Structures are given as structure tokens and as C-alpha cells.
Amino acid sequence: MSGRSLPRIASCRSTFLAAIPRVYRQPGEPADDPRRTHEGLYHAQVFGPSVVYGVPAAYGRFDAALLDRPVPNADGSMLKVLQRHADELLAARLRATSEPRIVTDVRREVAAQLANDRARVDDVATALALSTRTLQRKLAEAGTNFQAVHDAARQALAEELLRDSRLNLTDVAFMLGYREQSSFNRACREWFGATPARTRERLRGVG
């Protein structure tokens, strides 16, 4: 791909997608030469004359220097949101690849069952089709225990929920399995060193 302006490169995406029905037809159906269609001519205008049709996969090559160019219609306000989301995805990927499967499974079940007050060890063992003793043994073999995984999952979920400004603090406490706000307040101070309200402000970059 040549070093043409980014707006033209970006604008051709919808045109390229619109051209797919013209390029790929049902077997046996006569097809026009895609290079002579309106879309094909536009593709050649944007990408140059080396566009190839009828291949198993669509891809493009471009100069790596294009990655250093500014995005013309970038939304600076979204940077923090997207960065945080990327960090969370990376952290989840690292956990999934570095921690034993049983820890990941227990963490998932605890987070799913907290709001229903069914995140006790016997509830989680049942959900995983294990006996309580077998679950505890597997966790011990993984170098941890149920309470440690439970607390870590609860704290991670608390952080996620507190970031969501659509939820009031009472809702957050309930979704974490706390029936009294005071219990949630104490837990928040232990986890984050601040009240739920102050923690929310900090997580959202306020104040």
C-alpha cells in the first residue's frame, strides 16, 4: 500500500465492504471483471494498481511509517477508556495463561454467584461438578485456597463495578454479595484504602 493520506485509506473501507457482493458471487454465476467495476476502480485509486481479487483471504501491506501518523478524527477523550480496557484484557489473558485452570474456574464461578449469595465453597464445588474436598485439594495443589481465590475475585469484581457510574453504591454492594452497606465499606477500605465513593472517584480519574 502506498503512503497516501489516511483519510482516503480509511474512507475506502466501506467502499471495499460494499464491493464484496460484486466480487464474490455464487458458483456458476457470471461475474464482471472486478477491476472494471466502480468499486474496483476506486480500490485501484486508493491502493494502487496491484489489487488482486478472487484470493482466499483479504489483506493489505503498508509502510510501517503510517503507524506513526496521527489519526485524523481521533477522540482524545476515549484514550483512557480504551487504554484501561486494553490493560484489563491483557491482565485477564495473563491470568488465564499463568494460573492453573482450577483457579480460573473458581474465580469465574465466585464472580457469577456473589449476587445470589451462592459463592460459598460447597456452591462453587457443585457448579464445577466436584466434591468440596476435591475442590479444596485441587486448590491446595495449585498453591492457594478457596478463601484466597474468593477474596481476590470479589475485589476484582468490586473494582470493575465501581468503574461503572450507572450503578449506585448500594447496587454494587448487593452485586458483591453484601447485604449491609457497612460491610462493603469496611471491605473497600481493606482493599483500596478508601471508602467506596472515594475509590470510585479515584478509579474514574476524578479528583
Domains of the chain: which residue ranges? Answer: 6-68, 77-203
pTM score, whole prediction? 0.54
pLDDT tens digits for 17-75?
444 444 444 444 445 566 567 677 777 777 777 777 776 777 777 778 877 888 777 77
Radius of gyration of the chain (CA): 26
Distance in angstroms (rounded) separating the CA atoms of residues 198 and 128: 36
Low pLDDT (below 50) residues in the chain: 1-30
Classify 77-203 by CATH class. mainly alpha
Q: Are residues 146 and 106 in contact, defined by beta-carbon separation less than 8 angstroms?
A: yes
To the nearest 5 percent, what fractions of the chain are helix, strand and coil?
65, 0, 35
Q: Is 134 left (phi over 0), alpha (psi -120 to 50) or beta?
A: alpha
